[in-house]
């Protein structure tokens, strides 16, 4: 079991497999590094060095009372980059992890980064406001908070349906995928999970995106019920000077898991381009 003790004493769990060009994977809420298993195996077998960490308060990392916000998430990742001396890395982030990638680059630059990939990612900003009229209403985000506080076990079970598009007519449902989503969610600490809702939904990444200066692939499903494409990927590609957009008709928020074969193929094409 690989762990890194950060400067503030927090322990971060991570997987580090292989010896080639590094690819780092930042997971979504409320999951952990295991959400990337399909990508880790695929790219590891192709000779890449694949690295995925459990964000603080998620998975096997320390459950902290403080620091469950984007600046600290990005700084934690920077400490991992430095500890492993990663160079020429491809940074991949899903959902909340996409915000983590954007904030990392904004705060720490791209001296260690070759390319970036944002998958179903939360930037520029999720919450609806006067400046973001098509965003997610605060009432919906408060409902997520209430679900975590009142019965997060049942809430995670229920959330797995729209997360993977399993609530759509004719969807082929994997109960195994649903159960693993619940399992990973329940490994997270309740305080960190609660705090992270604000982090992923109310953090404004507009200026972060403008600072990304490496080739960037924005991947988004047009049936994403968690982070809707019009308020996320469609706007992100306009803010990242180096971005290319790939939209997936009918794909859900959790498409790196449900459609790993398609996502992995397109990721590989981008990595080799």
For 59, list phi and psi in degrees, rounded to 5. Answer: 55, -125
CB 226 within 8 A of CB 126: no
DSSP-derived letter for residue 19 is S
Residues in the chain: 273
Burial 136-163 (b: 16+ CB within 10 A, else e): beeeebeebeebbeeebeebbbebbbbb
First CA to last CA distance, the chain: 34
Task: For residue 16, indicate whether it is catalytic.
Answer: no
Nearest one of 22, 24, 195 to 14, comparing CA atoms: 24
Tokens encoding 183: 């399992």
Cα 177 to chain centroid distance, Å, stands at 17
How far apart are alpha carbons 37 and 1 in whole angstroms? Answer: 16
Task: For residue 224, indicate whether it is catalytic.
Answer: yes
Task: For residue 66, indicate whether it is catalytic.
Answer: no
CB 183 within 8 A of CB 58: no
- Does the N-terminal peptide bond of residue 51 adopt cis geometry, omega within 30 degrees of 0? no
Catalytic residue among 57, 95, 160, 193: 95
How far apart are alpha carbons 133 and 126 in whole angstroms? Answer: 10
Catalytic residue among 61, 224, 231, 259: 224
How far apart are alpha carbons 91 and 70 in whole angstroms? Answer: 16
Angle between helical axes of 96-108 and 70-84 (0-180°, round to 10): 70
Active site residues: 95, 224, 253
């Amino acid at each position: 079991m690989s762990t890194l003790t950060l400067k503030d004493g927090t322990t971060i769990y991570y997987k580090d497999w292989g010896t080639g060009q590094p690819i780092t994977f930042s997971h979504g809420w409320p999951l952990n590094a295991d959400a990337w298993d399909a990508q880790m195996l695929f790219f590891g077998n192709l000779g890449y060095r694949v690295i995925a960490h459990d964000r603080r308060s998620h998975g096997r990392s320390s459950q902290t009372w403080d620091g469950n916000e984007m600046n600290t998430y990005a700084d934690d990742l920077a400490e991992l980059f430095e500890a492993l001396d990663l160079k020429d890395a491809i940074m991949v982030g899903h959902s909340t992890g996409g915000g983590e990638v954007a904030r990392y680059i904004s705060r720490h630059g791209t001296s260690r980064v070759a390319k970036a990939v944002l998958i179903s990612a939360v930037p520029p900003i999720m919450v609806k406001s006067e400046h973001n009229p098509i965003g997610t209403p605060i009432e919906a985000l408060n409902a997520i908070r209430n679900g975590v506080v009142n019965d997060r076990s049942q809430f995670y079970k229920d959330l797995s349906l729209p997360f993977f598009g399993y609530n759509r007519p004719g969807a082929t449902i994997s109960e195994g995928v649903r159960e693993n989503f619940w399992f990973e969610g329940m490994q997270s600490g309740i305080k960190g999970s609660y705090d992270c809702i604000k982090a992923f939904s109310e953090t404004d990444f507009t200026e972060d995106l403008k600072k990304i200066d490496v080739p960037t692939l924005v991947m988004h499903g047009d049936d994403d019920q968690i982070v809707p494409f019009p308020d996320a990927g469609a706007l992100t590609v306009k803010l990242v000077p180096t971005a290319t957009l790939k939209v997936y008709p009918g794909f859900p928020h959790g498409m790196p898991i449900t459609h790993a074969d398609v996502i992995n193929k397109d990721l590989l094409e981008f990595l080799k381009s």
